[in-house]
């Protein structure tokens, strides 16, 4: 079978050719192989979908699952989270990493309570207007929670499109206008199919078309894949960003936050000094946490998670 060319795809959005031939095999594969994840169940609702999208950014499903379950048990609705101090969101975030996401989710919950009567809005523009909600999250919630027709471009989806349509091993480091145009062109015309396509392409990238070792034998569109038909050429663009952690300010920030999360009373500077030997880096990390609103300094050299 002939590979799908990127130049041919825009017509596929409104016709039954080119990119449209990808829809049925990918969705059928998803129907047979999708993981049973709690945020995909009907009872999760829009709030459950939103929580999962915040948690899953740059974090694998295996790490998110236990925190997600605890979070929804404690805060089943946005108003429940909004009623608590933001520091409790940071505490409950645990070791998921990138804890500013917890503050942003708390801010979104407060806005949902104040602007939308406690219900996650259906309207895409209203979702996008929530604090901490960007282009991807608004599209994901509108699509996965409300079955709407929006291009949902996370790293997994971008990689599937790069390989299957553009013939590249990896997408660019940052989402481009060309990728957005391609995603819109590939989107099925009706809302239920478009929402299913969004979830299916994401799952395909997570389970089969993976970054390091794609399992092309299991791929439902391997025969159509432009990258495979080109001989699976190696990436020749800018170097891909790594995910270093050991010895970085991120690691120091995590250690400092761990002490504060476990404390029930304000923590003295001396206790924080014990988590990292290098004083300049430790001070820089602590200053960054304070600047980001993740830590609140008190008089007498004490620190705590934020109350406001």
As annotated, the active-site residues are 53
Phi, psi for 117 (deg, rounded to 5): 65, 20
Rg (the chain; Cα; Å): 22
Query: Could you tell me the CA-to-CA distances from 175 to 50, 86, 107, 179, 289 in Å, in that order?
Result: 21, 31, 25, 6, 28
* Residue 232: CB atoms within 10 Å: 13
Strand locations in the chain (E): 267-268, 296-298, 302-304
CA-based nearest residue to 129, from 111, 147, 113: 111
3-state secondary structure (DSSP) of residue 247: coil
Task: Select from 48, 41, 50 the least CA-distant residue to 127.
Answer: 50
């Amino acid at each position: 079978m002939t590979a799908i060319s990127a130049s041919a795809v825009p017509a596929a959005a409104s016709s039954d050719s080119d990119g449209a031939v990808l829809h049925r095999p990918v969705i059928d594969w998803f129907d047979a192989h999708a993981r049973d994840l709690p945020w995909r169940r009907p009872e999760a609702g829009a709030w459950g979908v939103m929580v999962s999208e915040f948690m899953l950014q740059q974090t694998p499903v295996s790490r998110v699952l236990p925190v997600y379950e605890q979070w929804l048990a404690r805060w089943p609705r946005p108003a429940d989270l909004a009623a608590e101090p933001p520091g409790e969101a940071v505490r409950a975030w645990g070791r998921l990493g990138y804890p500013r996401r917890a503050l942003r989710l708390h801010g979104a919950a407060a806005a949902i309570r104040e602007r939308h009567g406690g219900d996650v809005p259906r309207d895409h523009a209203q979702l996008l207007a929530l604090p901490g909600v960007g282009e991807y999250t608004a599209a994901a919630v509108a699509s996965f929670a409300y079955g709407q027709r929006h291009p949902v471009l996370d790293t997994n989806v971008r990689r599937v499109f790069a390989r299957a349509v553009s013939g590249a091993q990896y997408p660019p480091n940052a989402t481009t206008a060309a990728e957005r145009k391609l995603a819109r062109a590939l989107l099925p015309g009706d809302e239920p199919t478009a929402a299913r396509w969004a979830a299916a392409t994401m799952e395909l990238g997570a389970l089969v078309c993976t970054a390091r070792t794609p399992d092309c034998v299991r791929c439902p569109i391997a025969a159509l894949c432009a990258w495979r038909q080109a001989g699976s050429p190696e990436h020749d663009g800018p170097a891909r960003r790594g995910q270093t952690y050991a010895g970085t300010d991120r690691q120091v920030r995590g250690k400092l936050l761990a002490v504060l999360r476990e404390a029930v009373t304000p923590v003295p500077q001396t206790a924080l000094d014990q988590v990292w030997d290098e004083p300049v880096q430790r001070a820089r990390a602590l200053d960054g946490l304070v600047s980001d609103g993740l830590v609140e300094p008190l008089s007498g050299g004490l620190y705590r998670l934020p109350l406001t």
